Structure 1
Amino acid sequence: MSIFTKIITGEIPSYKVAENDQFIAFLDINPNAKGHTLVVPKKEENKLFDLSKEEYSALMDFSYNVAKALEKTLNCKRIGMTVIGLEVPHVHVHLIPINEMADMQFQRKISVTKEEFEDLANSISANFGN
């Protein structure tokens, strides 16, 4: 069972920003930038392209809606998106608010307090679907 499955089942807490029957989106606890969000299928699948075309399309559609909520919440030039998948064997999309190319580099991390995570998760969630 992946760490993301443990988050999905509630075994591990998260700063959830959006959820439906197929997907969950939550703040990355080791973020590249404020608002760095992970979008994860609830179905545990190791590789992105092992998803069916329908599941892949639904993941991208859900990610789009989360990205729109991020844009409404944060002051940034773009929402960058990447799928790497080496660190956790469970498909996940990184949505990263960016102002410069360095914001997409995974060697560069920022610190966020528990209160900042909570406030940010609530703000993004409030903008999801609006």
Structure 2
Amino acid sequence: MDTACMYCAQDQRLTDIMIEVCTLESSTLYLFKEQTYKGRCVIAYNKAHIQEIFELSKEERATFIDDVARAAKAISVAFGAGKMNYGAYGDKMPHLHFHLVPKNENAPKWGSTFDMMPDEKNYLTEAEYSEVIEAIKVHL
């Protein structure tokens, strides 16, 4: 693990922007606090500090992608997504992670790439975050 990495260190850099939902077989699912896209999460590989998906063995990759698919389905069902967007960038945070972003017609950025940090941000109350997390967990 790399202590300079917020996903490895699991420190305030992470908790300032995300809330842990649960751990899966090879990853941890986090709810992104900025909720313009209701249910938006990040899923991060948690077995080692890996930067690229090709660094995983075939078996590790299959397990991680299974976690991604399981989480994406839960989010999609929980929030009635018209389409799930998957973002795997990591330019500034080089740790294997995917943004899982439910999108709907007549909602922000339909038909386009989601905004990483929209100009008009949508933050929830603690109770609302709990409701969103529980809605996801019901479908995992």
- Range of TM-score over shorter length: 0.7 to 0.9
- Which aligned pairs between 1:1-80 and structure 2 lie closer than 5 A? 1=3, 2-7=5-10, 13=15, 14-31=18-35, 33-42=37-46, 43-80=48-85
Q: Number of residue pairs matched? A: 127
Q: Is 1:106 matched with 2:116?
A: yes
Alpha-carbon distance in 2 for matches of 1:108, 1:101: 16
Residue 104 of structure 1 aligns to a residue whose secondary structure is coil
Cα shift at 1:35: 1.1
CA contact (8 A) 2:40 2:101 kept: yes
- 8 A Cα contact 1:26 1:37, kept in partner: yes
8 Å CA contact 2:36–2:122 kept in 1: the answer is no
Letter in 2 for 1:101: G
Q: Which has the higher helix share?
A: 1
* Identity between Structure 1 and Structure 2 (%): 20
Judged with a 3 Å threshold, the aligned counterparts in structure 2 of structure 1 residues 112 and 103 are, in CA distance, closer, same or farther, namely farther
Residue 86 and residue 12 in structure 1: after superposition, are their counterparts in 2 closer, same or farther (change >3 A)? closer
Higher relative contact order (CA 8 A, sep 6+): 1
Match of 2:107 in 1: none
Structure 1 position 37, deviation (Å):
0.8
Structure 2 residue runs without a partner (length 5+)? 105-109
TM-score (norm 2): 0.76
The unaligned stretches of length 5 or more in structure 1 are none
- SS of equivalent to 1:26: strand
**Counterpart position of 2:91:** 86
Question: Judging changes above 3 Å, is the alpha-carbon distance between structure 1 residues 50 and 88 closer, same or farther for their aligned structure 2 residues?
Answer: same
RMSD, matched Cα: 2.5
1:114 Cα offset (Å): 3.5
